[in-house]
Amino acid sequence: MNLDHDGLEAIIPRAVDEVGGPTILATLTVIAALLPMAFVSGLMGPYMSPIPINASIGMVISLAIAFIVTPWLALKLIKQEAHGAHATSDNKLLALFRARLTPFLRGSEGKGARRKLWLGIGVAILLSVALPMVKLVILKMLPFDNKSEFQIIVDMPVGTPLEKTAQVLSEMGTAVAQVPEVTDYQAYAGTAAPINFNGLVRQDYLRSGPEVGDLQVNLLDKHDRDRKSHEIAQAIRPAVEAIARKHGADVKVVEVPPGPPVMSPIVAEIYGPDYDAQIQVAKQVRSVFEKTKGIVAIDDTVEDDAQRFVLRVLQNKAAVAGVAQKDIVAAMKMGLSGENVTPIHGSGAKYEIPVRITLPPERQSGLDDLLKLTVRGNDGNLVPLSELIEVMPSAREKTIYHKDLLPVVFVVGDTGGKLDSPLYGLFEMRGALKDKPLAQGGTLSEYFIHQPADPYTGFSLKWDGEWQVTYETFRDMGLAYAVGLMLIYILVVAQFKSYLTPLVIMAPIPLTIIGVMPGHALLGAQFTATSMIGMIALAGIIVRNSILLVDFINEQAAAGMDFQEAVIQAGATRAKPIVLTGLAAMLGAFFILDDPIFSGLAVSLIFGIFVSTLLTLVVIPVLYYAANYRKHSSPKAGVSS
């Protein structure tokens, strides 16, 4: 039959009323799942708070549109036509659900089929959870961004002349320039590069001295190259590390930004009762770093032994020679750092040009040439400095680092190669370090979350770096997830006046893992904090589908329909809107699939919605039937079948 305009005006309000209650509840459950993320603290707090706030506002606005705008548009745009084709389509869908669901229903007779279904789902969940353990899915705090620059930080042995550092930087620059994506680079010898993310977080901007150097490497725009900046940095690392080994230097290839704001992706903090002994323990820990495959950019905060010369004026000899102490100091200063003796005023120069006297750079590295300088005594004779100065060799003092007022030695490293996550490198090394016997006596205690309460009772190792930020972020997100689930449960209890029904409705939430983890493995994507955001959002989306199904079953059963038939009808009737809304969400996620940071969120939504939606259309009707079919049985009807 055809529907005229008046017929649509009568049907649309009833249609809105039919889905109004479950739609409002489903919207609130999505908000309840997302909103607790706004209270996540720590590093990810500022990044995550806009997502739940904006998404919740968007859900409220979309609810208003669904109740006001959509019915009005339906009235204006839906064509008045026969619905025979739609009825045929619905009949096919009903036949499909009847054939697929009936074996799992049939009262007690379907128990065996239901057990097999639960077993299959349980195995699928366990296999999905095992993917990170077998390293088919890599867990990481934040993915690498695709930037147009990266840094190479060089630390030469202590006491290396500035010219030597500049030479090494030049060699590395020549190697870097061979990479086709590199446009140019800047070398900074004896000082740090202009302050950037690394300078702020790792305090690299404080580095100075003749033995330190930076290379700032600039790349083509990301639209003009095929490789990402992370791939380029990984490809360059072996060449610069070979140059560094040749000159005895430590080198780090650091991306901008390199991930969470930490000193290094892997940090081992060494505590103990004696700082010199802490240094020796740190050397043992560093040796484990160096022996572990895939650990690169290894360094520590232990400064190399370096000789220091104290020059003391022999005052008795200086007095006999008639040389003032200030003249000796002035001569040494002139030889080492130079002295401006007179200005030159050029006709074309705006400012005066100083004339500076100093030793040539190649003669400033040793004391012999300095001590050959002479000063004039009172009798007019020239006296060499070697006769007036005593050279006293000593050791250069070393920096003592502290964290929370406790003396600490840091050992740092990064990961390279296939497993680009510091977590795997950390847990691979801890097997060799846990309870490690020490030459200083005792064993090395291990801490993950906090510093040792009393570091002076023995030597201990505290893991820090990206691990600490990862733990704090996923801890807070897990708490937000738990709070969201509690809010969803309370909302569903209030709606259905039952404590069991909410458990049935929320049962498909674990099904999201069956899509999320295999999806990451299929695309080779890392499971990051943004992936976790997607999983939290999925909890609300899947519960929404469950509410629509359960509400329809209750309505049909209350109208007198056989319970088993109501379950089948619910799947067939609600399948189209559930699938279409799922496809809409998946389509929206496709637009951020190639984003370096939010690709994990897209993968979670696309695969999680796809798999969990298909499973929910089967699991929820069957589970709700299994939980309630006895209540709907009667002596007249027998067991629903």
The predicted structure's pLDDT at residue 8? 59
What is the average pLDDT across 446-451?
Answer: 87
Instruction: Check: CB of residue 447 under 8 Å from CB of residue 431.
Output: no
Q: How far apart are CA 88 and CA 34, in angstroms?
A: 39
10 Å CB burial of residue 622 (0-12, 13-18, 19+) is buried
Looking at the predicted structure, is the pLDDT value of residue 613 above 70? yes
Report the range of poorest mean pLDDT among 138-147, 385-394, 441-450, 553-562: 138-147
The predicted structure's pLDDT at residue 641? 32
pLDDT tens digits, residue range 420-443? 778 888 888 888 887 778 877 778
Q: How far apart are CA 426 and CA 485, in angstroms?
A: 32
Q: Could you tell me which residues are beta bridge partners of residue 638?
A: 634
Q: How far apart are CA 142 and CA 555, in angstroms?
A: 46
Q: Where are the beta strands (DSSP E) in 353-473?
A: 353-357, 374-376, 382-384, 389-395, 402-403, 406-407, 409-415, 445-447, 460-465
Instruction: Check: CB of residue 616 under 8 Å from CB of residue 26.
Output: no
DSSP annotation string for 537-566: HHHHHHHHHHHHHHHHHHHHHHTT--HHHH
Q: How confident is the model at residue 517 (pLDDT cuts 50, 70, 90)?
A: very high
Percent of the chain at pLDDT > 90 equals: 12
The predicted structure's pLDDT at residue 270? 92
- Of residues 212 and 634, the one with the higher pLDDT is 212
Residue 226, classed as helix, strand or coil, is coil
Work out the number of other CB atoms within 10 angstroms of the CB of residue 629.
20
Q: How far apart are CA 147 and CA 149, in angstroms?
A: 6
The predicted structure's pLDDT at residue 393? 87
The predicted structure's pLDDT at residue 258? 52
pLDDT tens digits, residue range 521-544? 998 888 888 888 888 888 878 888
pLDDT tens digits, residue range 485-494? 888 889 888 8
pLDDT tens digits, residue range 497-507? 888 888 888 88
Q: Which residues contact 313 (CB under 8 A, 6 or more apart)?
A: 325, 328, 329, 388, 389, 390
CA Rg value for the chain: 36
pLDDT tens digits, residue range 114-136? 889 889 999 999 999 999 888 88
Whether omega for the bond prior to residue 257 falls within 30 degrees of 0, making it cis, is yes
What is the average pLDDT across 68-82?
Answer: 70
The predicted structure's pLDDT at residue 128? 92
Looking at the predicted structure, is the pLDDT value of residue 27 above 60? yes
Instruction: Check: CB of residue 114 under 8 Å from CB of residue 622.
Output: yes
pLDDT tens digits, residue range 7-23? 556 566 776 776 777 78
The predicted structure's pLDDT at residue 588? 87
pLDDT tens digits, residue range 251-276? 988 887 656 777 888 899 999 888 88
Candidates 244, 299, 528, 295; CA nearest to 416 is 295
Residue burial 497-514, b: 16+ Cβ < 10 Å; e: rest: ebeebbebbbbbbbbbbb
10 Å CB burial of residue 406 (0-12, 13-18, 19+) is middle
Per DSSP bridges, beta strands 250-255 and 402-403 are unpaired
Residue burial 226-254, b: 16+ Cβ < 10 Å; e: rest: ebbbbebbbebbebbbebbeebebbbbbb
The predicted structure's pLDDT at residue 89? 56
φ, ψ of residue 613 to 5 degrees: the values are -65, -45
The predicted structure's pLDDT at residue 369? 81
Q: Token pair for residue 340?
A: 């401006």
End-to-end CA distance of the chain: 33
The predicted structure's pLDDT at residue 53? 84
The predicted structure's pLDDT at residue 640? 38
Candidates 172, 198, 196, 197; CA nearest to 185 is 172
What is the average pLDDT across 344-371?
Answer: 79
- Of residues 12 and 379, the one with the higher pLDDT is 379
How does DSSP classify residue 294? T
Domains (range + CATH), the chain: 1-82 (no CATH), 83-130+498-641 (1.20.1640.10), 149-304+401-469 (3.30.70.1430), 307-395 (3.30.2090.10)
Instruction: Check: CB of residue 335 under 8 Å from CB of residue 370.
Output: yes
Q: How confident is the model at residue 86 (pLDDT cuts 50, 70, 90)?
A: low
How does DSSP classify residue 421? -
Residue 432, classed as helix, strand or coil, is helix
